[in-house]
Chain A
Amino acid sequence: MRITCPICGERDRREFYYQGAAIALARPAPDAGEAAWDAYVHLRDNPAGVTRDLWQHESGCSAWIVVTRDTVTHEVLDSALAADIGMEAGA
């Protein structure tokens, strides 16, 4: 399995750490309430198909990457720096 790091290029999966769904980028406000926090920390769309998930190029440049990927075929469709996405979202 190969993942493309936006900084380093295509690398072997061994160089990456996988965390989970990219929902992790959308951290609720501290006072968002129990349901919002439960959804953020626990609940998952868990699609059989295209998903966006978070990987870190841990053995490379340390970049956290949002990878768009198909969970059925393992096709990797896109990857982008999480920091860029976060900045665009106005974090």
Chain B
Amino acid sequence: MRFSGLKILKEGLTGNRGWTPHWRDPDPKAEYDIIVIGGGGHGLSTAYYLARDHGLTNIAVLEKGYIGGGNVGRNTTIVRANYFLPGNSEFYSHSLKLWEGLEEDLNYNVMHSQRGLINLFHSDGQRDAFARRGNAMINQGDDAILLDRDGVRAHLPYLDFENARFPIYGGLYHPRGGTARHDAVAWGYARAADRRGVDLIQNCEVTGIDIENGKVTGVRTTRGAIRARKVGIVVAGRSGQVAAMAGMRLPIESHVLQAFVTEGLKPVIDHVVSFGMGHFYISQSDKGGLVFGGDLDFYASYAARGNLPMVEHVMEAGMTLMPMIGKAKVLRSWGGIMDMTPDGSPIIDKTDVAGLYLNCGWCYGGFKAVPGSGNCFAHLMATDRCHGAATGFRLDRFRTGRGLMDEEGTGSQHNLH
């Protein structure tokens, strides 16, 4: 079924009885060419691009819960390409280009909204750092505009320009940055992958990875053993546990990141705004809720929930930066499990086990990477060659120190990125 306004019209006039499943619920087959472990955004997009770009259809995505139930369904929905270190720059640029055609490609409205992202800076030193970032973005072919204080005021007149603890010096404006409807991204990829023959298998937890003579042969699951020639691990915060099934230890520590949404409000924040001194970023969803977040809770956690100190800190940052949101009421808070690496940048690579591939370490920036990650990981799994946009995401960079991508400059402590 192809979605369109016409289809909605037809269904509406005939009692909406003709809608069909977005995806099937097949039982797992005994064997697949490729198994993708993890039915989150990255796993689903991997499966989709394996099918679309590489003609592979004998693929299963194994998801222990429901598809899209991980970080793709619990983030602050920001899409941007404003990295500055080689490795990251070209990748996120690639990913943003995929976003820009995603609705037509998937025949699914993921509501990618390029409403513009403004990163505020609050000192001369921060301005210089953002100038470097902006220049790097333009070097890469992406867009960036350096705003002075008045330039910021023209876009965001509601900020506290007079009394904020850290005065607003200016901002780096990324017009192509924006948001997307997070769940729709997962569903859109799921549906598109399913339509190309990929088996999406929910409630199927992987419990073991079978390896013979240094080569992967399949996986064991709560729904039985499944053979496969190639297996990709795309499980974000759970990477440590799944990799351990293959005897690997990863450079990853899992942390909780909280996010928040308020009750619905009439349009008041038109951009994505990020506060340079307080780890606070905010946008307004199309439904009207202010969606915002801050920093990690900072302690390793798999609880997918956090504690009050960071909750309050995030609210405090909001109040010093834009005190006009004071009367907005927080409706819901939640947490996700972030796979934090020692340099804050991801890993898309082969492993020492033949046929076993790894896609992880997205820290808390994985949402915007969903198209690029799946696209590059599919390329790697299908061709055994690194995609040109993801050559920097090597697993061995930590051991060798070559090509580290520490955008924050905070070093190898996982939770500081």
Direct contact of A and B (CB under 8 A): yes
Which residues on A are within 8 Å of B, measured CB to CB?
1, 12-14, 18-21, 34-35, 38-39, 41-48, 51, 53, 55, 69, 71-74
Cα–Cα distance between A55 and B301 once the two chains are bound (Å):
14
Decide: B415 and A20 in contact? CB cutoff 8 A. Answer: yes
Supplied contacts A41-B342, A43-B251, A48-B240, 13 more A-B pairs, CB within 8 Å: A1-B308, A38-B399, A39-B249, A41-B412, A42-B398, A42-B399, A43-B249, A44-B249, A44-B250, A45-B240, A46-B252, A71-B302, A71-B303
Chain B residues within 8 Å of A, Cβ to Cβ: 238, 240-241, 249-254, 298-303, 307-309, 342, 398-399, 412-415
B301 to A44, Cβ gap below 8 A? Answer: no
What's the Cα separation between A55 and B298 when bound, in Å? 11
Chain B: minimal CB distance from A43 (Å): 4
Q: Which residues of A have CB within 8 Å of B300?
A: 20-21, 46, 51, 53, 71
In the bound complex, residues from chain A placing their C-beta under 8 Å from that of B254 are 46, 48, 71
Residues of A within 8 A of B399 (CB): 34-35, 38, 42
Q: Could you say which of A35, A43, A55, A69 has the most chain B C-beta atoms within 10 Å of its C-beta?
A: A43
A74 to B308 alpha-carbon distance, docked (Å): 14
Q: Is the CB of B241 within 8 A of A48?
A: yes
Q: Is B240 within 8 A of A19, CB to CB?
A: no
Docked pose: A39 CA to B410 CA in angstroms: 19
**Which 8 A-B pairs rank lowest in CB-CB distance, beginning with the nearest?**
A46-B240, A42-B251, A38-B399, A42-B398, A1-B307, A43-B249, A48-B302, A18-B298
A53 CA to B300 CA, complexed, in Å:
8
Chain A residues, Cβ within 8 Å of B413: 19-20
Cβ-neighbour of A53 out of B238, B299, B398 (below 8 A): B299
Complex Cα–Cα for A42 and B395 (A): 11
Interface centre among A13, A21, A53 (most CB of B within 10 A): A13
Query: Which residues from chain B contact A47 at a C-beta distance below 8 Å?
Result: 240
User: What is the bound-complex CA distance between A35 and B398, given in angstroms?
Assistant: 10
Which residue from A18, A42, A48, A72 sits with its C-beta under 8 Å from B415?
A: A18
Minimal beta-carbon separation of A23 from chain B (angstroms):
10
Rounded to whole angstroms, the CA-CA distance of A90 and B8 in the bound complex is 73
**Pairs across A and B, CB under 8 Å, 11 listed:** A1-B299, A14-B309, A20-B300, A20-B414, A39-B249, A42-B342, A42-B398, A46-B240, A71-B254, A71-B302, A72-B302
Inter-chain CA distance A47–B301, complex, in Å, is 9
Bound CA span A42–B253, Å: 9
A12–B415 alpha-carbon span in the complex (Å): 20
When C-beta atoms are compared, the residue in chain A nearest to B305 turns out to be A74
Please measure, in the bound complex, the distance between the C-alpha atom of A19 and the C-alpha atom of B415, giving whole angstroms.
8
User: Would you call B298 and A44 a contact (CB within 8 A)?
Assistant: no
Q: In the complex, A47→B237 CA distance in Å?
A: 11
CA A1 to CA B253, docked complex, whole Å: 20
Least Cβ–Cβ distance between A67 and chain B, in angstroms: 9
Cβ contacts under 8 Å, B249 to chain A = 39, 43-45
CB–CB B301/A74 < 8 A: yes
* Separation of A72 and B299 alpha carbons in the complex (Å): 12
A43 / chain B contacts, CB cutoff of 8 Å? 249-251
Say yes or no: A38 contacts B398, CB within 8 Å. yes
Bound CA–CA A26/B398 (angstroms): 19
Which interface residue of A18, A41, A46 has the most chain B CB atoms within 10 A?
A46
Q: Which residues from chain A contact B253 at a C-beta distance below 8 Å?
A: 20-21, 44, 46
In the bound complex, CA of A46 to CA of B239 (Å): 9
- Does B250 lie within 8 Å of A46, measured CB to CB? yes
Give the distance in Å from the alpha carbon of A74 to the alpha carbon of B300 in the complex: 9
Residue of B nearest to A35 (CB): B399
Shortest CB–CB separation between residue A22 and chain B, in angstroms?
Answer: 11
CB distance from A1 to the nearest CB of B (A): 4
For A24, the closest partner residue in chain B by CB is B413
Minimum CB–CB distance from A45 to chain B (whole Å) comes to 7
- Of B240, B309, B398, B412, the contact of A13 (CB 8 Å cutoff): B309
